[in-house]
Amino acid sequence: MIKAVRGTRDLLPPETALWNFVEAAARDVFRAYNFQEIRTPIFEETQLFARSVGEETDIVAKEMYTWEDRARAQSDKGLSLTLRPENTAGVVRAYIEHKLWERGLQKLYYIGPQFRRERPQKGRYRQFYQIGAEVIGPPTAGSESPARDAEVLEMLATFLDRLGITDWTLGLNSVGCPNDRAVFNEALRKALEPVAAKMCADCQRRAVNNPLRVFDCKVPADQPIIDKLPRISQFLDEGCRKHFTEVQEILKVIGIPFTLNDRLVRGLDYYTRTAFEFTHGALGAQNAILGGGRYDGLSESLGGPQAPGIGFAIGEDRLVMSLKESADAVARKPDVYIAPLGEGMNREAARLAHELRRHDLVAELGDESFRPKKSLETASKMGARYALIIGENEVKANAFALKNLETGEQVSVPRSELARKIQGNG
Ligand code: AMP
């Protein structure tokens, strides 16, 4: 038997109702903040991720699904392509390619699958889904403003509240500008030199290649060492410090609670200044539901114009896991089960189903070979509110037996009044 590939999974009903619920809420909330949808391709040139996410990151170093595209001519080398491991790079590429800066500040959101070859576990998949957004534009459009950071964070809080997720924590940090980072990296490298040998294998590698990543370490024995390392907060220049203070001040005024966390450095190279993460207690080890931050130099590093930006990506798989709602509660059940009873009744039943569906009713259609008892059982099992019985007498009278499956009450309803009655307005 062929099974879904390790780290991928099928999303089945009724659970997909929760996914739709989350996505509909996202579209609705983002709309209120004047965001619009963007859809970029699922694969891009490998270079795009190497140059934006960063060669030294875990994602690019070991987690990408990369292949060589078939060459056009035999002498050509095939182009290296990669399934997108995240969507910010694609959005910024599109921003540059379509000169979106000519249209002023861009507020874009996306919903879709991402691919990383990580070790699968609960809440971690190789194909997973992200809901994300980016605010990006020329500095003259205000894209650098701390007001944008605060707005994005407030939008996220509103979105989580809308989903009934209340016990979240917003961790906030500033990772500074590239200049601050260079000085900080040097200080870190120095501080790590005498202690790296006592740390886990990953940290020993990080200490050399990408010292910042040491802060991602979860190994308990390493924590006392990490606690003593210098922090980026001590290295912020005047501009970054002021920017970060203003973000915090706005958040305080609009009442968005946050916790400063100067260990929060985020996994990708392109982050500058504000970095954040929302976590959720109930999720266990993989407790980060979303992360994001500023990426003020990303456009330039991809050959574009200066285009400061800030964005986030929500892990939709984890978000769905943390919902209190059950799939059954958000799934739309059939309003009516149509039961053709007796030979020759399928046609009339199909006609009625067609009419009722045009009134935005969810109608399920039975088959004339079913007995009355079986029809009603089937209807109840799928949670239909009504059963509509189509027999020869009903067709003759042009009035049909409508049974309320909650109360058991049954009435005869003329055809012209059926839709209104089922909608509950009649
Ligand atoms: P990142 O793009 O790494 O900042 O991730 C943003 C969010 O995507 C995280 O907070 C997670 O919720 C989610 N995420 C990242 N990687 C995975 C994965 N392999 N499986 C499921 N969710 C993930």
For residues 273 and 294, the answer to whether their CB atoms sit within 8 Å is yes
pLDDT bracket for residue 285 (50, 70, 90): low
CB 217 within 8 A of CB 199: yes
What residue owns the CA closest to ligand 1's atom 3?
267
As a whole number of angstroms, the distance between CA 286 and CA 318 comes to 8
Ligand 1 centre from 135 Cα, in Å?
A: 20
Residues 310-360 pLDDT 10s = 999 999 999 999 898 888 888 899 999 999 999 999 999 999 999 999 999
pLDDT confidence of 72, banded at 50, 70, 90?
A: confident
Is pTM beyond 0.75? Reply is: yes
- Average pLDDT for 225-245: 94
Distance 288 CA to ligand 1 centre (A): 8
Burial annotation 271-288 (CB, 10 A radius, 16+ → b, else e): bbbbbbbbbbeebeebbb
Longest dimension (CA), the chain: 93
- The answer to whether the CB of 361 falls within 8 A of the CB of 202 is no
86 lines ligand 1 (CB under 6 A): yes
- Confidence at residue 75, expressed as pLDDT on a 0 to 100 scale: 72
216-220, 259-263, 277-281, 384-388: range with highest mean pLDDT: 384-388
**DSSP, residue by residue, 104-172:** -SEEEEEEEEEE--PPPBTTB-SEEEEEEEEEE--GGGTTT-HHHHHHHHHHHHHHHHHTT---EEEEE
CA angle 231, 235, 239 (to 5 degrees): 135
pLDDT tens-digit readout, 97-137? 999 999 999 999 999 999 999 999 999 999 999 999 999 99
Q: 116 in ligand 1 pocket by Cβ < 6 Å?
A: yes
Phi, psi (degrees; rounded to nearest 5) at 393: -60, -40
315 CA → ligand 1 middle, Å: 5
Least confident of 78-82, 197-201, 237-241, 278-282: 278-282
What spacing in Å lies between the alpha carbon of 119 and ligand 1's midpoint?
Answer: 13
> Closest ligand 1 atom to the C-alpha of 132?
6
Tell me, rounded to whole angstroms, the distance of Cα 344 from its chain centroid: 49
- Ligand 1 near 289 CB (within 6 A): yes
Strand partners, 337: 364, 387
